[in-house]
Structures are given as C-alpha cells and as structure tokens.
Amino acid sequence: MSSFSKSPWIIHYDASSCNGCDIEVLACLTPLFDVERLGVINTGNPKHADIFLVTGAVNEQSKDVIRNIYNQMPEPKVVVAVGICATSGGVFRECYNISGGVDSVIPVDVYVAGCAARPEAIVDGIVQSLGVLEQKRREMAAAPKNVDQTLYLRAEKSDAPEILGLQKTAFQSEAELYGNDSLPALQQTLEELQQEFERPQWVVLKAVVNGKIIGSVRGHAADGTVQVARLVVHPYFQRHGIGVRLMAEIEKAFPDVKRFEVFTGEKSRRNLDLYRKLGYLPYKTEPGTPTLVYLQKERK
Amino acid sequence: MTLVLTLILLPLAAGLGLLCLRSSLPRRILVTGVTLAVCCGSVALALLPTPVDLSGLSLNYHWINLGMLLVEIAMGLYIIYVGVRARHPLIVGLALAQAGLMVWFELTAGLHLEVAQNLFVDKLSVIMALINGVVGGGICLYSLGYMREYHETAHRDVADRRPLFFSLLFIFMGAMFGLIFANNLVWLFLFWEITTLCSFLLIGYTQTDEARRNALLALVMNLAGGLAFAVAIVWLYRQTGSIELQTLIKSNKVLMLMPAALLCFAGITKSAQLPFSSWLLGAMVAPTPVSALLHSSTMVKAGVYLVLRMAPVVAHTNVGMMVAMVGGVTFVIGSLAAITTSEAKRVLAWSTIANLGLIVLCGGIGTYEAVWAGILLIIFHAVAKCLLFLCVGVVEHKLHSRNIEDMSGLVLRMPRVAMMMEIGMAGMFLAPFGMLISKWAVLKAVVDASPLLSVFVVFGSAATLFFWVKWMGKLVQVVGPSERIKKELVLGEAIALYGLSAATFLTCLLFPLISSIFIKPYILDVYGNFADLGQGNVIIMMIMMAMVLLFPLSLIGQGKGPKVVDAYLGGANVKGGERFRTIAGTVQDVSIGNYYLQNFFNEAQLSRWGVIGCTMLLAAMFFLTAFV
Amino acid sequence: MNPWIRILIYLIAAPVVGCLLAGWDRRISARMQSRRGPPILQPLYDVQKLWQKQNIAVQRSQNLYIVFFLLLVIFTGALFFGGSDLLLVIFALTLAAIFFVLGAYKASSPYSFIGAERELIQMMAYEPMVLLAAIGMYMVTKSFAVDDIAVHPKLLVLVLPGIFLGFLYTLEIKFRKSPFDLSSSHHVHQELVRGITTEFSGRTLAMIEIAHWYETVFLLGWVYLFFASMPVLGVAASLLVFVFIILVDNVFARLKWQTAIKSAWVVAAVLGFGNILVLSMLH
C-alpha cells in the first residue's frame, strides 16, 4: 500500500529562521502551488504529522522544542530541513548561539537547500521524503517478520557511517529520558567512530536484516575486563531479542576474558532490566548528568 | 397493619432512644439494627398486595388525635420560641397563624371527626416507602462512619452532638413513613411539620452563624408551605366534610381546585422550587448525610409526592398549568445555575432543585403519561443523587475540599470512589441510565399533553449535559503525578456506596419490571390508562447498557498498550506534560480549569428572574382559582 | 424494506458514502479557493495512512474512549436507519459524543481540554433545536419512530419550515464547520492546535474520521426525512444542504463560542419553538 505517499501530513517549525523559508513553505499551500492536491495537510500537531519540516538554524531555545516535537511524532516519520540554515547553519554557522543545522539535534532525512528555498524545491523535497517515508513504513511493517533472518557479523570500517546514523537514531529515546542531547553517543563524530575500528582489541558487531544494519555493539578488552558499550538496536526492531543476542555475541567474541563491564544511565529502566536478565549486577554509581550505573558480569 | 405501624413507630422510638445513648457502640448497634429492620420491613411491604389491608388493629383514634394535637401544640410553641429568640417576626407570625388555625380546627371539628381511613397504602406509597427505607437506611449506615470522621478529624471545631444527630435522622425517617402512609390530612400535616422541624434542627447542627441563618430560612419557607397546608385542610373540610386525601383526589374537581392548589403550594415550598429555592442551597452547610437524606433523596421527595398525588385533580386545569410552569422554569434555571458554580454540593443542590422541577412539571401536567414519568424520575433521582452526595462527602473528608477543581485525577487517587461518582453522574443524565429513561418519558408526556411546555425540557436538558460532563471529565483528567489515598472508605460508607451503585444499575436494568409491578397498577387505578416505552425500545436500551458496561471491562485487559508520549505543549515541555518553559526561560506548571461561564450565566441574576417569574405564576394560580 | 437489511446496507455503505462526501467536501472547498484540491478518495488515503502509524497516547486508556465513540456512532446510525425512536437516536448520539469528550479530557492536555469544553458548549448549543426538531416531527406525524415519519404522506418541510431552518443552523454546528468549528478545525487555524483531537493519532484518529463519516450520513439522512414523501427531492435536498454547508464553511470565519451558543439558542427559541407554537395553535 502506498497510502503514505498519498497522505503526507506536515508539521512545520521555525527554529530560528528569518521567516524567509517559512513564507515559502506557506506559499506552497496557496493556489499557485497547492500542495493539498498531493494530500498534504499542514497540521500544527506533531501527533498527527508524518513529516517534520524545520526551517532555520538551531539555537539553545529551539533545541528542546525540536526534540519535544520530534519525540511526540509517531513512527514512521521523516525530517526535512528546509533552507540552508536548517541544513548546516547557513551564514550563521559560526555564531556563538547556533549549534548548527537540524542534524545536530535529530536525524534528518532530506535536505532542501536554498535561501530562501523556493516552493518548487520544497515540494520536491516533500516528494522525496515521501519515498523515504514509504521505505520506513515498509521496514516498520516488515520488522517483526524479518527478525529471524538477522545476521550477526563483525562490522568493518566501511560500516561506520551507517552505525553512526543508527546510534544517533537509537539514542534519541535516551536523550528524551534525560532531556539532554549532549550525551556522548549523540555527539560522536564520524572520525572518532572510524578510529575505533582501527584500535586493537576493539570488536564492533553488527546485526543485519536485508542488508541494513539494525543493531550494533562495541567491546574493547583492557586489563582482563571487556568494556561493552554502545549497544544500539533500531527502534523498529526493539523488543525482539536482538539486544540479548548482540550481547551474547560480544561475549563470545572475547573467549578468554572473564569479566565484562557495561554502563547505562540510571533512569534507563529497560536497559537495566536487560542487563540484569543477562546476569550483570550493578556495582558502582557515578553521579553526573546523567548519573551512570555500572554493571559487571563474571564468567565462570 | 402491624407492618405499617411498625414502620412508622419503630424509627420514631429508636430516634427518641438514640437521644439517650451517649457512647458509640450501643449507638452503632441500635442504628444498624433499626436500619436493617426498616429495610426488611419496606421490602416486606412491597410484597404485600395493595391497597394494603389496614383493618387489622383497632386503635383508639380519639386518644391518638389528642396526642397528635398536643405534639402539634408543643412543636408550635417551640417554633415560636425559636422565632422570638432569633427576632424573626415572620417565623413567629407564620407559626402562630398555622398553629392557631390547626388548634381552632381541631377543637371545633377535627377531634370529633369520624375518619374512615386514617392510613392508606397503595403502590405509590410502597415506592416511596422503599426509597425511604432502603436509601434512607443506607444513609444512616453511611453516617456512622462519616460522622465519626467528621468529628474526629475533619471538623473538630463542631460540637459533638451525635446523639441528637442520629436521633433526628430516625425521627425524620419515622415521620417520613407516617407522611407517606397517611390518608388523614391532619396526620399528614403533623408528620409534614415534624420533617420541617427535623430539617431545621439538622441544618443548624454545626451551630455556626451561617448554619443558624440557613436553618431559619428553611424554617420560614417551610412554614409558609405549612400554613397553606393548614388552610387546605380547613377548606377541604368546609367543602366536603372530610379530611381524607383520597376524598380530595376523587371528589368533584372544580370544588377541589383550591385545596389542591394550596397543597401544591405546600409541595413547592417543601421541594425547594423557585421562588423558594434558597433554603435548599443554604442547607448545604449541614453535614453530608443530612444533604443526602433530607435534601435530595427523601424529604424533598415528600413535596413532589404531594404534587403527584394532586396530579389527577389538577390535570388540564389552570392550576396544573401554573404548577407545571413553575416546575419548568425551575428546571431550566436550576440547570443553568448549576453550570456556574464549582462547589460540588452547590452543583448537586441546584441539580436537585432542577430535577424536582421536572417532577413538578409532570405533576402539573397530570396526565397518566406524565405521572408515570414523574414516578420514574422520583425513583431514579433518589438513588443517583444520594450516591453522588455520599461520594462527595467521602471526597470532602479525604481531600479537605468541596471544589470540583480539586478533584482532578481522582480516578487515580481514589479509584473506587471516582468510579462510583462516574456511575452516579452517568445515572443522572446519560443514556441508557435511569434518568434518561425518565426524561424521555417526560418528553413524550409533555408532547402529548401540552407541547409548549417542551421548551423548558429541551433547554434545561441541554444545560444539564454541560455541567455533568465537565465534572466527569475532571475526575478522569490526570495532570502530574498523583498518589493513591490509602483507605478510601470505612465499612458503613462502603456498604452504602456499593449498594447505591448497584441500585443505580439495577433500577435501570429492571425498570420494565419496576414499571409493571409498582407503577402500572397505580396509574391504572387512578387513570384507567397506562403508558409504556415500547418493547423494542427497552431492548435497545439494554443493548446500549451492555455496550456502556463493556467500557470499564475493556480498561482491564489492555495488553502492551500504546507508547506513552507527552502532551503537546507547543514543544515547550520540560517534564512530561506537567511543566513547560515560558518567557525568560522560567518553568511553569500546567494547570487546567473548567469553564464556569460565569459571565454568561450569572447565578444571582438567574435566581432573581426565576423568583420573580415563579412568584407571578403562583400568584396567578391562586388568583385564577379563587376568582375565575 | 426489512429494517435489518437497511441496517446492513447502512453499515457497509455509510463509510463509503461518508468518505466520498468528505472527499467532495475538500474538493469543493479547494475549488472555491481557486485551488485544485486533493483527489476524491483522499479521506480514504488519510485513514489508510493513519491506520499504519505507531500507536501512541498520552494516557494509556484514552484511545479506548474513541473506540466506544465510534461504536456508538455506528449504533446511532443503525438505530436511525433501522427506523426506531428518534428521541432514542438523539440520546444515543449524545452518549457517543460524550465518550469523545471524555476521551479528550482523559488525554489531559491543555489543547485537548479546550477542545473538549468547546465541544460540550457546542452540544449544549445544538441540543434544544435537535430535540425541538424531533418534537416537531412528532406533532405532525404523531409518532417518534423514524419508520413512521419516513412514510408520512405530507412533505414535512412545508409544515415545519421554522424547524427545518433552525435544524440547518444547528447542522453547521454538528458538522463542526465554520462558523462553528469551535472544538477542532479542518482549516489552517492552529491556535487551538487540533482542539479536541490534538492528542489522538494513528488508528484512533482514523477511527474519529470514520465516525465523522457515519455521522455525516446520519445527519444527511435526517435532512432527507424532512422531504421523505418525495424521495428524489429528498436525496437532492440532502446533497444541496451538504454543498450549502460547505459554502457557509468557506465564507464565514469562526465565531466566538459565546456567539455560537447565544445564536443557536435564539434560533431554537424563535424558529423552533415558534414553529411548534404555530402547530399547536392550528390543532
């Protein structure tokens, strides 16, 4: 069914735009361009929307708002950054109060450049996002069926971009829990991630479905302990036992080591339950923002 | 006969006995025992064929009448004393006039009168007796736990006069039985006045200035009704030589219009119709069992009971039309006024006034359909309103507030009580519950008899919808964390509340049965004709009830359920849906308050218009009856 | 025709007809605004899309209220087309609407709350006229049953002109269209966000949409009743009324709720009650 491409509902938010792109977005609704003939409705409500149109660069005040709106949208959802400011920060990129484009806060699917982006370009961007939306819907619907076909493999350096994207998507829920987007997992850059592949004693695993990476975990051995980190599973594939399997695989990847250590935030109930189920017990709490709980497991 | 007499005398005796019992355990035993006895007695009475055979015992009526006269004089003297002490000339004047008239009447004619039937019990009496016994009994049980908490925790400043309180409750119950079963109007009048006195004493229970003021107001208005009652008795005697209610109902209508009008007037004051509504609103200062027993379920029902008795006499007359219009106006204004207030008991009081107005409307119309609707209204309203008052009482104790705005999220804090309140409120206006059935019957009756009166019903019913649903919504709305209150109900309260909730459902489910067993024979007897809702419609209502009952059941089995996200606060959520970021980065709590439309419907103005309008209607009623 | 067959036809055909009417609604509105407008089946695509979205809620039980809203709206229409008591139909619709309102209350968010209060005010505004319409029909046909009203030989709109006009006025409120789109608007007004439907999404929102389709068919069916003795005229009148409602929707801005209830009650009192007054005097 391709009904997603026939009924895309939009929520439009102005992060810190000069309103140039906003006016062009509203112009799309006028008789000259009339996006409603494509079934587009500009709802002001994230819970009704599929496409999140953001204009303007991101500053401190709009970060929380963007995250709030993004989290209140039901899956499947796409983000379209309209205008060069939303894409990369535009001319304001180096300003003290601007953190960059929208992708510094949430994962973006389509970038529409321009200053101001023209209505034709915006409509084109929406149409492109329909394709992404359709693909996501397919994945979401297929997720329960394809779980048994998951392959668990060693990841290569070339997988780094995909894993980084997955990491940022999956950690959105953690950011929502703590209201904090400066979690290290979200701030990691591609270079840092690629370096991890080159370090010795680092193992990166991936869970693959239909050629797409939907889960990953990292472990690195030091002083007889393996530090397990960055266990991520794509939101569509969560609660299907993939996390459990990934943990089992990373433990298998270090057959000689006796002690495994992992950490998570103290509010991450689901993660704590998962680790406890696998035999990890908490042994240390490190206060901070957020407060971290360290768990360990001794292998017999 | 014994049963009937027991039902009257047992509570009276218990009431007098309770005056002496100081400690709580014997009081609890006596209250529970008498309540159970009265409940069983009422149910037993319902099983007897009617009219109940009252020829069993032979009593010396002369001595009884003399005793009653003495009680009458004693009460009159007490009221005059109260009036003098409060420097209230109207009370003194009315009491003197009323007592004087009755004493003169008794001495000259009444005492020597041979009355054929002093008591008369037909199906309508049985229905009222069931309400009084079962619902009233439930309230007495509830009061045990409630008053203990009232004095020990919630209102420690009020003097503990519980012996007086409980004794008044039972004296009232006995008097109510007497009122329902009496055919001799002088006896009826005595019991009527006893209920007035009980109401006065109970409203003034807390002994604050406000309570005293409202008690005196109630006394004045009920005395006015009592005076009309006394005049009616004398008039009836002058016309027919009899003082029996049944004689009034069955005699030549034209002659009986004035007594009927006077008795309707008495009923209107007793059931707090405009222009006499302020006493009921003021009576809400009394403890909740008083509000439930006297001022919603039972005593005010005595007023509308009398009007319904008068229905065959006033049907298709000017008196009936005026009475019906008073009821209609009260219904509309009461419903509109209930929208504007956020104090729970005041909302319930206005709603009571409005629903009694609807019953008075039925009585005034007086056709068989209307009376059928009126009796249904009595039954359903007594049960549902009582449930609501008792729930509000419990909530008031636990939350220390009567404000509806403080009841937000009650469904999480006190789930049982909240659910029962929802049932009670649904029972007051929602299909397929009882009051809806009654309102439907009223519409049909009104349309057949005088369609112009339908304007009152349609506007009033639109208004009732608004204030009930916004209260229902307030209970389920959950903003912010809420903690469960540990012990919601004590035993007595729980029995009463669960019982009444079950009764709300049962009366609705069984209403065809109730109608055919109790109401139909009465109507057939009086009118020779009978109304019904139709078999098909009853089945449809049952289907709707089944669908409505599915709802709470479906709440139980929800499975994985939806993913929980925050409410939309313009993206400014700070902590869930409870706090949001506003100007200058400050953080504010979300607070949600209902609309009270106070600029739109002004309670004082509405009252004023109602008082003026209804006074004119009543004046017209008397004028037309006397001179036309 | 056997009432059960009518109910079956209604159950299957009403969402189809409602969907097409909703599509035509958007098309005609668009053309009135010099735009092209979406395809006629757009509401179907909307519902299909919504059905596949993730299930989210603010309070876990809020979506359940909407399920019952939908069930009861369908039940109301079934009662109506099955020919039963018109008063019962009105009460059933009230019950359905109350589930909708309570669901919005349950969602416990400021916007859904405002939508709920305004929906209640709307209900308070149209209820007198709707009841008076039923009473008017009873006075002419001596029966509340839709079956009897539908076969009555007289053309009801001629005897009940005031009631028909008043009913039209309240139809605008019942359809939740300008100038009375107080509780939730299909226009681009966003100051209430989506009003009563703000916190509902996915399947729940789809159910609300489907319930609106059923409700549309039921309301137009009631308009048909005014012309029941001439069926072709009845159908034409229903469609004309629908187009008229769309026209008014596009021409007028939203009124304040105070104006809505005042005007609706004045209309009910003057047109509705006036009609009944005349009828009762003629008898």
ipTM: 0.93
Kindly list the residues from chain B whose CB atom is less than 8 angstroms away from the CB atom of residue C107.
Answer: 567
Decide if A72 and B565 are in contact by the 8 Å CB cutoff: yes
The DSSP element (H or E) to which A207 belongs, if any, is strand A202-209
Distance to chain C for B62, nearest Cα, Å? 54
So what's the pLDDT on residue C188?
A: 67
Q: Is the pLDDT of residue A1 over 60?
A: no
Q: Quick check: B147 and B162 in contact, CB under 8 A?
A: yes
Q: Per-residue confidence at B25, pLDDT binned at 50, 70, 90?
A: confident
- How many residues are listed for chain A in this entry? 300
Q: CA–CA separation, A278 vs A258, rounded Å?
A: 15
Kindly list the residues from chain C whose CB atom is less than 8 angstroms away from the CB atom of residue A39.
Answer: 38-39, 42, 45-46
For chain B, the chains sharing at least 3 beta-carbon pairs closer than 8 angstroms are A, C
User: What SS3 state is found at A52?
Assistant: strand
pLDDT tens, residue by residue, B210-269: 999 999 999 999 999 999 999 998 888 888 888 888 888 887 777 788 889 999 999 999
Q: Quick check: A92 and A85 in contact, CB under 8 A?
A: yes
pLDDT tens, residue by residue, A103-144: 888 889 999 999 989 999 999 999 999 999 888 888 888 777
Instruction: Name the closest residue on chain A to residue C42, using Cα atoms.
Output: A39
Q: Is the pLDDT of residue A98 over 80?
A: yes
Q: Per-residue confidence at B559, pLDDT binned at 50, 70, 90?
A: low
pLDDT tens, residue by residue, A180-239: 666 777 778 788 888 888 887 788 888 888 778 888 888 888 888 888 888 888 887 877
So what's the pLDDT on residue A166?
A: 85
Q: CA–CA separation, C188 vs C183, rounded Å?
A: 14
Both tokens assigned to A285: 């709490």
From A64, A72, A179, residue closest to B568, measured CB to CB: A72
The angle formed by the CA atoms of residues C108, C109 and C114, to the nearest 5 degrees, is: 105
B568 touches chain A (CB under 8 A): yes
From A46, A66, A179, residue closest to B568, measured CB to CB: A46
What one-character-per-residue DSSP string does B123-189 give? Answer: HHHHHHHHIIIIIHHHHHHHHHHHHHHIIIIITTTS---HHHHHHHHHHHHHHHHHHHHB-BHHHHH
State which amino acid sits at residue C214.
Y
So what's the pLDDT on residue C162?
A: 92
Q: CA–CA separation, C203 vs C64, rounded Å?
A: 11
So what's the pLDDT on residue B506?
A: 85
Alpha helices in B400-449 (DSSP H): 410-413, 415-429, 434-449
From C42, C52, C53, residue closest to A39, measured CB to CB: C42
Q: Per-residue confidence at B538, pLDDT binned at 50, 70, 90?
A: confident
State which amino acid sits at residue C283.
H
Kindly list the residues from chain B whose CB atom is less than 8 angstroms away from the CB atom of residue A240.
Answer: none
Q: Is the pLDDT of residue B15 over 90?
A: no
pLDDT tens, residue by residue, C189-207: 667 888 888 899 889 999 9
Both tokens assigned to B193: 């006045």
Kindly list the residues from chain B whose CB atom is less than 8 angstroms away from the CB atom of residue C108.
Answer: 477-479, 567, 577, 592
- How many residues are listed for chain C in this entry? 283
Choose the mutation target among B568, B594, B601 for the interface with C, i.e. most C CBs under 10 Å.
B568
Kindly list the residues from chain A whose CB atom is less than 8 angstroms away from the CB atom of residue B569.
Answer: 68
Residue C282 CB: number of other CB atoms within 10 A?
A: 8
Q: CA–CA separation, B517 vs C43, rounded Å?
A: 53
So what's the pLDDT on residue B556?
A: 76
The angle formed by the CA atoms of residues B467, B471 and B475, to the nearest 5 degrees, is: 170
Cα dihedral sign for B367, B328, B471, B498? negative
Q: For the residues A257-268, what does the mean pLDDT come to?
A: 84
The DSSP element (H or E) to which A112 belongs, if any, is strand A110-112
Q: Is C34 left (phi over 0), alpha (psi -120 to 50) or beta?
A: left
The DSSP element (H or E) to which A184 belongs, if any, is helix A184-187
Decide if C38 and A47 are in contact by the 8 Å CB cutoff: no
Cα dihedral sign for C39, C44, C47, C49? negative
C203 touches chain A (CB under 8 A): no
So what's the pLDDT on residue A181?
A: 63
Task: Flag the least confident range among A57-66, A195-204, B309-318.
Answer: A195-204
The DSSP element (H or E) to which C76 belongs, if any, is helix C62-82
Instruction: Name the closest residue on chain A to residue B564, using Cα atoms.
Output: A72
So what's the pLDDT on residue A129?
A: 92
So what's the pLDDT on residue B30?
A: 86
Instruction: Name the closest residue on chain A to residue C39, using Cα atoms.
Output: A37
Distance to chain B for C169, nearest Cα, Å? 17
From A47, A69, A179, residue closest to B571, measured CB to CB: A69
Q: Per-residue confidence at A2, pLDDT binned at 50, 70, 90?
A: low
Decide if B572 and A65 are in contact by the 8 Å CB cutoff: yes
Q: CA–CA separation, B295 vs B297, rounded Å?
A: 6
State which amino acid sits at residue B415.
P
